[in-house]
Each structure stands twice: as structure tokens, then as C-alpha cells.
Amino acid sequence: MAAKLILSMDGAVLKEYPLTKERMTIGRKPQNDIAIDNLAVSGEHAAIVTILHDSFLEDLDSTNGLEVNGNPTKKHFLQNNDVIGIGKYKLKYISDQAPQSTPADFEKTVVLRSPAKQPAPAATSKPADVAGFTQTQSDLNKPAADAPAEKTGKAEAPQSAASPQAAVVQVLTGPNAGKELELIKNLTTLGKPGVQVAVLTRRPHGFFITHVEGATHPAVNGVTLSDQPHQLNDHDVIDLAGVKMEFYFKG
Amino acid sequence: MRFKPAGVNMKIDEALEIVSRTDSGLVRSHNEDSVASDPASGLVVLADGMGGYNAGEVASGIAVSVVATEIKQRLPGENPADCDEATGEELGVSLLRENIRKANASIFHASKSQPQYAGMGTTIVSGLFYDNRVVVGHIGDSRMYRLRGEALEAITRDHSLLQEQIDAGIISVEDARLSRNKNLVTRAVGIDPEVEVEIHVHDVLVGDIYLLCSDGLNDMVEDEDIQSTLVALRSNLPLAASQLIQMANDNGGRDNVSVILVKVKGKFVASQGWLAKLLNCFKK
């Protein structure tokens, strides 16, 4: 259950160390939990602090420093398969066990009974993402490669369907005729606020148009929409606030 | 004698538009979240229960109904901006705090008396709107966010191990996204005989949108995406609420997800003179 470190040198595994203590030290001196008798290793070189399922590596002002996955570091939040380098030695961090047994249990909230500290009243804030008036977009289903900092939970989520292919809305009539709008984000609003607005949402299984505001609802291929989202097909023609636009998939 | 303040003032149920949605998600068979709102008293409550079998639903259901029922009974007759003689605080503040405590006691006693409910508990986040302000009471990791202009801000701070680690500088906000220690709350309703309710009062501006949500939303959907959804769909609150739930489900929907949206459409000053108001709670 506990995560572990696998000590190796030149590819040969030397020993495994389960991270069973809240704080484990790595160093040359024998009293370290992970003792590495080598002159390149400081007496007390580094420590690993484990809080439930999370482990943190920190350098204890060692002479020759630490690397994680080839990058020098002073402090690092260890992720599964990280490789800690100390001189010629490598310590691989393995924590691939799911914390709970079944997927349904995975995110169950648990209460910690330890007395809670009084939190400060300030709250976290995020700078505003200034979004366009007629075109508000949000990034959601980024491909995994674009989002290395994706939440662990999300990474393990069953990706039910691949993100839909790229799509475009091209204005067919009115002063903006010929203009194209690529639907690269998950949420794109079209129309004039206060008059008529519709939103195009990109979902795992396709693009949908939904009426947002205005007395008249948009029409697709001449059929006026209800309040429900309507899935768009290639070359559908949208009629919104007197302007016709064509939806089509790209490439 | 009562004076109407200058300018357009609305009754609370006219000044607020409230929409709530709850969904069990794609993985869970039960929905352990509960939501309630009472436009006439300006109250919204959301709770995310925990415990085996159906105990989570029971806990969140008790929490929401105790708070909603008790406050509904008191508020038509009384002014929440008045001073509560018993506590020396505004009535709205003490009503929210005392009723969350009452919910705590109810759940605690139910879990002690019925073995199938042993250990059940719930988070809670609640807002009571009056006099151009909102009193926010919360316990656990259900959140309240505020969209003001185009800026989304969390106005509650989770009672969770992860938040404590962030506060203590053990882990950065960025690293916290990768943590495997999510969903560990350090405070919950119904676990102990007494609980401390975190209460804050915030000024409210016309145009603000308040979002109450269970962690099934903010664990599955990034704050940036919540923000852009609220900005894009602020003119259609029911659609915004459905869209938030849908995004959580499109991203995996591994937890129950609940949202309450409150849009402030007008001012709602308490119907009493400013002098009386000033004197009210400064007399003590």
C-alpha cells in the first residue's frame, strides 16, 4: 500500500525501501533510513516527507544536490515513476496503487478527525480571464499532451470519446459574410447580447448549439430550435439574428 | 416608522434569481448531495454527504432541511439585519450559525442512535442574502464562488487537508492539483457533538453571480472553465447551471455534482432607516 523507492546504480537494483514513516532521510551516515555509503552523498543528504498518499522530496543542504528526472531540485512533490538522482545512484519512486479499492470509492470524501486549524479568512482568487464579447471560449478537453499539469483524477478518468474533430462556423450573409470562426474552445457564444445569443459547445461526442437569450430562437436548416441543446451535423446552416452561418468539420 | 431608501429597492425574492441542479454523475449509483433554496428568505443551502449505504444522503438531507426549515420559519416575521439580543450579532448571522450547529447535532444524534448511520456526516455551504449583503456559512469542502464582472473568486476556503497544506506552504497551488490527498475534509457536519461554523459576510453588487457547488464540480472542472461558462451564459442562469453539470460529466462525472446559482438582479436594502441599523448592533 505504501509507496516505495527502488535504489539502483548503473541499472542494477540494489534495494527497495517502502515509505512507511512520515519522514525518511537519505544520506551517507548509517543512521539514515536510506543509507548510501558513497562519498558523493552527504551525511544527511535529503528527506522524504509522506503525508497520506503524497510524498515530498527535499534537499537537506547537501554538497552535491539532488536531481529529479534529470533536473536539479531543492524540493519536489514526487509523482509515480519519478527518478531521484544522487550522484551515480538512482531512486525510483513508485506509488501506483490506487488509494481505494473500487472506482466508485475513489473520490469518496473522508473526514479527518484531527483538530482542524482555524483557517485565515482570506480566500484564493484568480485573475479574470478577459473574454471576448461575441466570442467567449473556454478550454476544457485539451489533449493530454497539452496539459501536463492535469489533475490526477482527471488523468484517470475514462476518456469516453476522443475530442471531436475541428469545426468551423462560416458567416454566409450580412456584412460579415465570408468570415470564419474556428471552434477551438469548448464554449463559443454567437450573436448580440440583449438581442439574440446562442452558445456552441464542444463536447466529447460532438458540437451542440443551444439558445441562450432573446425572443427568437435560432434555427438550424430552417427548423427553429427548442430550449434543448441541438447537435450540429456537417454543413448545417444556422440562422441567428437574421444572419445565416454554416457549420462544418474541418479537414 | 419605516423609510424606503432612495433608488430602486427590491424585495429579496425579486432581487435574486436562483437556480439549482443536482446530478448523481456517471459513476455513483446514489446522489449524496442535497440542495435547497428559499427565495422569500434569500436562502440557499448545499450539502455533500458522506457515509456508507445511504447514510450520506441522509446526512446531507438532514443538514439542508434543518437549515432551510428553521430559517424559513423565522424570517418572514423578523428582519435579518436586526440585532439578535442573545448573541449581540445580526440576526442573519446568528440564524445561519445556530442552525448549522443544530443540523450538526441532529446528524450526530441520528448517527449515534441508528447503527446504519454510524459515522455519517456532510459538508455544508449556505448563503443568506439580505440588506445588500450575503452571510456565508460553510463547513468542509463545498464551495461558494463569486463572479463579479468577469472575475471568478472562491469566497470560501475549504476545510481540507490539502487547503491546510497549501496554507502551511507544504504544497503549491499548482502541485495541489496533482495531489492524491483530495477529498480529505478536516471539518464536517455531524461527526462530533459540536462543530465550529466558518462565517463571513460579503457585500453584494448588482450583477454578481454566486455559485455554490459540491466538489464534484470543482474537482472535475477547472476554475477557468467555470468562469468562462458563467460569463458566457450569465443571461440564462438555468442553462449555465446545466452546462456546469454537463461539463463535470463530460470530464468523467466521477462524483455527484450539485450547483446553486444566485444572480443579483437588483438592490435589496433592509427596510429600516440607516440610523436604526447603525444603532442596532453597536449598542452592545
- Looking up cell 496554507 gives B167
pLDDT digits (tens, 9 = 90+) for B111-135: 999 988 988 999 999 999 999 999 9
- Closest by alpha carbon to A92, among A153, A28, A34, A51? A34
E runs forming strands in chain B: 16-23, 33-38, 43-50, 83-84, 89-90, 121-122, 124-130, 133-139, 143-148, 151-154, 184-185, 198-203, 209-213, 257-264
Q: What is the largest CA-CA distance in chain B?
A: 59
End-to-end CA distance of chain A: 48
Distance, CA of B128 to CA of B130 (rounded, Å) = 7
CB A239 within 8 A of CB A250: no
- What are the distances in angstroms from CA B141 to CA A3, B118, B167, B181, B260? 26, 21, 15, 13, 15
- Give kind and range of the element (H or E) at residue B280: helix B274-280
Interface test with B, best of A109, A152, A189 (most B CBs within 10 A): A109
CB B144 within 8 A of CB B155: yes
Would you mind telling me the total number of residues written for chain B in this entry? 284
Distance, CA of B134 to CA of A234 (rounded, Å) = 47
What is the identity of the amino acid at A246?
Answer: E
Interface test with B, best of A100, A106, A111, A205 (most B CBs within 10 A): A111
Predicted model pTM: 0.78
Interface test with A, best of B122, B141, B183 (most A CBs within 10 A): B183
Cβ-Cβ pairs closer than 8 A, A with B, add up to 196
CB B272 within 8 A of CB B231: no
Q: Are B186 and A116 a contacting pair at CB < 8 A?
A: yes
Contacts of A34 (CB under 8 A, 6+ apart): A5, A7, A17, A24, A25, A26, A27, A91
Distance, CA of A29 to CA of A39 (rounded, Å) = 10
Between vectors from CA B9 to CA B5 and to CA B12, what angle results, nearest 5°?
Answer: 125
pLDDT digits (tens, 9 = 90+) for A106-133: 456 777 765 444 444 443 333 333 333 3
User: Looking at this predicted complex, what is its ipTM?
Assistant: 0.78
> Which positions 95-124 of A are in contact with B (Cβ < 8 Å)?
95, 99, 103-104, 106-114, 116-124
Ranked by mean pLDDT, the top range of A237-246, B202-211, B249-258 is B202-211
Q: Which of A53, A77, A154 sits opposite B252 (nearest CB)?
A: A154
Question: Which residues of chain B are within 8 Å of residue A104 when distances are taken between CB atoms?
Answer: 27-29
- Closest by alpha carbon to A7, among A26, A22, A23, A32? A26
pLDDT digits (tens, 9 = 90+) for A185-238: 889 999 888 889 999 999 888 999 999 999 899 999 999 999 899 999 999 999
The predicted structure's pLDDT at residue B168: 87
